[in-house]
Every structure is written in C-alpha cells, then in structure tokens.
Structure 1
Amino acid sequence: MNQFPIFDGHNDTLLSLYYAERGKGRSFFTASDTGHIDLPRAKRGGLGGGFFAVFTPNPSHRTEVVENERGYEIPLPPPISHEFALRTTQAMAANLFRYEAESNGRFKVVRNSEELTSCIEKEIVAAIFHIEGAEAIDTDLDALHVFYQAGLRSLGIVWSRPNAYGEGVPFRYPSSPDIGGGLTAAGKNLVRECNRLGIMIDTSHLTEKGFWDVANKTDAPIVATHSNAHALCNMSRNVTDKQLAAIAESGGVAGINFSVNMLREDGARDNNTPIQEIGRHIEYIAEKFGIDHVAFGSDFDGTNIPSELKDAAGLPKILEDLKGRGFKDSDLLKLTHQNWLRVLSQTWK
C-alpha cells in the first residue's frame, strides 16, 4: 500500500478530456505522454484523488500576455452567459460520472468523508465534483441544489473574470491580489447557501476583497485550493500572509499550485523551474502558519508545471524533496491527504 497517498486540491483534467484539441484526444483510462493526469499515471504517482474541476472557458477567446517594463499581465476575458456555462458544465459533469461508471471500481466520485477515506484506504482514485466559476448557477440558486444532488461538493465562486457573484483577480506580475471589487449581494447569498448545504467554498481566483467577503460570511474553514504564498512570488493570484493567517485561524488549507509563474520569485513562465520551488512554498506556509494548513493543489492539466515533474507520475519527486527538507512521516501524511480530509469532514454535511 502507498504510504503517502496524495489527495490534490485542483486539476483541470475534465477540461482537457472534453476539448479534444486541448487534450489531443487522449483517454482517461490509457497512459499518455500528453497532459498530466490519466488513471495509469495517477496510480504510478500515488495520486489518491483530488478535486476534479468543471470549468467553462470563454468561447473563441485568445489568451494574450501583455509584457511591460516590470513584468506582464494577462487581461481578463469577458463574462460568459449562464446558458452557455450551464450547457458546458452539465456535459463535463456527465463525463465525470461516465468515467466512474466505466472504471470497473478504480475511480469513484465521492460525496462524503466516509467515502473519501474509504477510497484512499482501498487505493481507489477519489474524485470530488468541483465547479470553478459559478456562471452555471442561476442567482435563484436552483441549479446549485440540482448540482448538489448530483454530487457537487466544492465550488469556486469565480475564475479570473467577473460574474454575477463577484470579481476574479487578473493574472498580473508583479502585483498585489487587491485588484477589483468583492462579492456582490448574490455572492454573499451563495456563500450562505453553500454553508447550509455543506459545499466547500474555494477562494482561489477571487480578488482580495472577495476573499475577505468570504472570510467574513462563511462558517466553514477558509480554503484556497490552488494558490501559493505571495511573499515568495509577487503574483496577483497568490495569497498574502494576512490571508494565509486567516486561513490558518479558520482551520483551513492552502493547496500549493505547481504553476511555474506562481512558484518562482521572478514570476517567469519558464518550465525549466526546479521542482524544489514547490517545496519552498510548502515549507514557508508550514513553518509560518502551521503544518495543518498547507497541502497540494497542483492545477494539473490547467497550467505549465516544472518539466522535471512532467505529470502526476512524478509526484514522488516532491515527496523526496520534502523529506530532504526535514519533514517527518507524520508531516507528510498531513501534507499529502490528512489536511484535506480534516477540512472536508468539517465542511460537508
């Protein structure tokens, strides 16, 4: 049995499998050299499961990086319609459930802590149905209840674009995350209803004002599933020490994103980034805010990661680096899965 099964805070694998041009037609069940996660590579790397994000990209939108004398910015795309997001979310979620049905017991969508713990113990890859950006949810919250019954257990209120619930933070280096407004009245109502149902709220991609709006409204642990330490990388998507302190005080978790430009001190979009940069962020948060409040949040299949890591099969390399930094086995158990299990058990009803 794998001693340190890794439960991961975020991946965009469903997106890559849904759009053939993005995933190059690969299968979830066949090992590939494309992308980061499929079932064989997950098993090889000790990936016990994670938050499988359903994300609706902007149709026909080209991402452009605007360079300046200090760094760069990726301008926000425009909002998308509820109707388009709903259709895409339903289709992508349906694929998630199809993978479960076709997996012969190797992959399971989990809806409570008992199912998640059981999957990790039995080495069944566990998936949490997560929506990244709440455009598919109408402000009457009817869709929220339908998705909850289908298995939704985690929700990112925004991606990095505005919607009916709040504003997303632009991708900007160097920059504070304090860019733009916070939650709308509908966004605050969404937080309350997620608390009532037991849906985990993800603050990643929110502006700093939006983060504090969640922190002031929620009665659950505060979570940033795939955001790093701003003190180590001055990227707008990363969270400040003040935010990390609030996460720790609430009993929450920050999941460390493997995106190279969110790891490096210089913010460079360079895949030749040492794998040790991941450990640097984990070590910083663990030492300053406590080992209970940091975990993995890879953003596999959603970003550029260190070439040395390559994909999910390379996860043991991170564990070796952490051991070299002096993390004990009891620490590694927390970092790899126990911290996520604790937060989810305190959040889900």
Structure 2
Amino acid sequence: MNYFDGHNDLLLNLWLNYPDNPGAFFEKINGHLDFPRIQQASLMAGLFAIFIPPKHYIAEKYPRHAQKLENPLEVMWEQLSILTTLIKQSDGKMKLCTTAAELHQAKKDQVFAAIAHIEGAEALALDSHALDAFYQAGVRSVGPFWNTANAYGEGVTGAFPGTPDSGPGLTSAGKDLIAQLVAKKMVIDCSHMNENTFWEVAELSKQPLIATHSSVHQLCAQPRNLTDQQLIALRDSGGVVGINFGNAFVRPDGARNEETDLDILADHFCYVAELIGDEHLALGSDFDGVSVPKALGDVTGLPLLAERLRLRGFSAESLEKIMHGNWLRVLERTWGQ
C-alpha cells in the first residue's frame, strides 16, 4: 500500500531544530518524519508546510530564532530552501512536484513526491510580487490563514468545545488573493478557515474544496474541525478532506492525550465515508505539528491505521482511494493535467 499525506510540518521542525544540518533528515531525527521512516512506511507523497510560527512560542522555546521572525518572508524562503536542499541531496529519490503529470511519474518511478504548501499567507501581503515568486519557485498550495487574523481575513479561532463560526470572512484583499490562487490553479486550503470564510471561498473559487488537515466537528468539537454542512459542500465540489491525526482534533474530549485508541481516529474516517463517500476522504496527518496517538507513533504507523480501517469495514479498493488515490485525483482536477 502506498500513502499520500496532505499535511506535515517537517520543514518547521528542520528550520527550528536542524538549521545547520537539514540533511539529518536522511538519517534519524526527532519528530514524526525522516527519510528512512518515510521509506519504511511506503509514504509516496506529501504536502510540506511553509509556516511562520507564533512569536510568543519562538520567544519562549527557540529564542535564537526570534530575530528572524522580524522578516517573515525570509523565513518562508528559508523553509522552502530546506525542501529544495533535501531534494538536491536525495540522489534522485525525491522530487518537487508542480503538476499532476509529475506526481504520476514520481509514483511510477517510486520517487517521493514533495508538494510545497504555504500555511498562513500573512507575509504575502508584505510584497505584491511574493505570490508570483513562490509560484515560480514551485509552491502549488496555499492556506490563506492559520489561527490569527491577517490582511486577508480571519482564520478560525476559539477553544474547545467551540464552533467554526468564529469571525468575519474575507477582506477585499482576501477576495483578491482567492482570485489569484484560482487563476494560478493552486490548491486553496480550507483547514484553518472560519465558517464565513469557508463559504465565501466556496462561492468564489468554483474549484474543489480541499481541507488538507481537518477532522469531524460532530465527533470532536474543535472549532477547526469541519461541520456536516461543510463536508457536504466539499463533496459537492469534488473535493477532499485529509483527516488530521492530532489527538486534540479527534478525541471527543478534545484532550492532547497520546493514550488515544486508533479506533477514535478511525471513527472520523468512518463518519466522513458514511456522510459523503470514500472518494472525498484522505490522509492529513499534521505530522510534526501535533501530538498523535501513541499507538500510531509516527509515519511508520500508517499501515497500522490502514489495517484498523480494514477491520472497520473498508474494502481494499476503498483503502487505495483513501490512502493515496483521492489526493492524486483532486490535485489533477485542481492543477489540470
């Protein structure tokens, strides 16, 4: 079985903890992902987040990086550079993919396919040419928001239990950004959008609605999880939701408790499949960005999740779609051939 994951924070992990030696990724590093474990797990592809962490978190945990946050665009370029450096050092075992054809070729050649994704577009507002520059450098996916407000609108905020209806929608600059992303045929990630923003994007984009790393609000009332109405809209658009593995996003009590049975995570897959069908269901682990069930551990636990879903009634054909096929399909529909 091959696996395609919709979201990870590896680049942030390397930027924070291995700034002088990102090539440690090809050995053993702390976190959920490194290349030996990716190969062991048969992970074939993933979206790699370029993310500006909160200043208060960096000031407390990583003070040597605090000054860098004064130039967030430079931080974004540094993280993208880490990804391109890894690809150069991979001896042809990794490729930055920007088209559906490249994804399919990488799968055929058994080359790991990396997709560059911006999580939180706040810094793009600092330079009117920034989006074009990142596009030229290979970025093909953008989540306009993280948890905080920016020039484009407001991300989803609030504590557990809470609602995704947490603020106003897009600003005029936000509507312009969505138009630019649509024109470039880039993924527009809905995972950190509040409800008003989600519905505005659904109206403006007319492309598949994609949530790279979200779970089910009905099962876990985190504001960032998707309501039934949002999931149905995602289905109707031909989109996909990558289920977030984070304990706080799957447990009914919203706790960051690693003693989380895999069936609790599997419940979210089962719910989505029953509500909108297995063709709109995928992986969105959030590896290196959240705590995941201890029973899963890290990327090498993906086969354990697949087996748990098989035991819950998913067929081999359905698992092929969920584990990688749906991401390939929706990216081809979004990007074109």
Instruction: Give TM class, smaller chain.
Output: over 0.9
In structure 2, runs of 5+ residues without a counterpart are: 61-67
The 5 Å alignment of 1:320-339 reads: 320-339=307-326
AA of the residue aligned to 1:184: T
Helix, strand or coil at the partner of 2:257:
coil
For the residues of structure 1 that align with 2:197 and 2:69, how far apart are their CA atoms?
A: 21
2:260 counterpart of 1:264: no
Match of 1:46 among 39, 42, 48: 42
The 5 Å alignment of 1:79-98 reads: 84-98=71-85
The 5 Å alignment of 1:307-322 reads: 307-322=294-309
* Mean Cα deviation higher: 162-171 or 334-343: 162-171
2:55 counterpart of 1:59: yes
Change (3 A) 1:141 1:286: farther
Match of 1:153 in 2: 140
* Mean Cα deviation higher: 13-22 or 223-232: 13-22
Q: CA deviation at 1:139?
A: 6.7
For the residues of structure 1 that align with 2:39 and 2:11, how far apart are their CA atoms?
A: 17
In structure 1, runs of 5+ residues without a counterpart are: 65-80
For the residues of structure 1 that align with 2:86 and 2:101, how far apart are their CA atoms?
A: 21
AA of the residue aligned to 1:202: D
Match of 1:74 in 2: none
For the residues of structure 1 that align with 2:223 and 2:203, how far apart are their CA atoms?
A: 21
2:8 counterpart of 1:11: yes
For the residues of structure 1 that align with 2:32 and 2:159, how far apart are their CA atoms?
A: 25
The answer on whether the counterparts of 1:110 and 1:128 sit within 8 Å (CA) in structure 2 is: yes
Q: How many residues are aligned here?
A: 330
Change (3 A) 1:228 1:121: same
Match of 2:31 in 1: 35
Match of 1:302 in 2: 289
Q: CA deviation at 1:82?
A: 9.5
Deviation per CA, 1:291-327, whole angstroms, max 9, x where unpaired?
Answer: 1111000000000000111111111100100110111
2:97 counterpart of 1:110: yes
For the residues of structure 1 that align with 2:86 and 2:262, how far apart are their CA atoms?
A: 31
Q: CA deviation at 1:329?
A: 1.2
* Mean Cα deviation higher: 265-274 or 131-140: 131-140
Q: CA deviation at 1:181?
A: 1.3
2:151 counterpart of 1:164: yes
Helix, strand or coil at the partner of 1:173:
coil
Match of 1:72 in 2: none
Helix, strand or coil at the partner of 2:57:
coil
Match of 1:254 among 237, 241, 244: 241
Alignment TM-score, normalising by the size of structure 2: 0.93
Cα RMSD, aligned residues only:
2.2
Change (3 A) 1:21 1:92: closer
Alignment TM-score, normalising by the size of structure 1: 0.90
- Identity across aligned pairs (percent)? 44
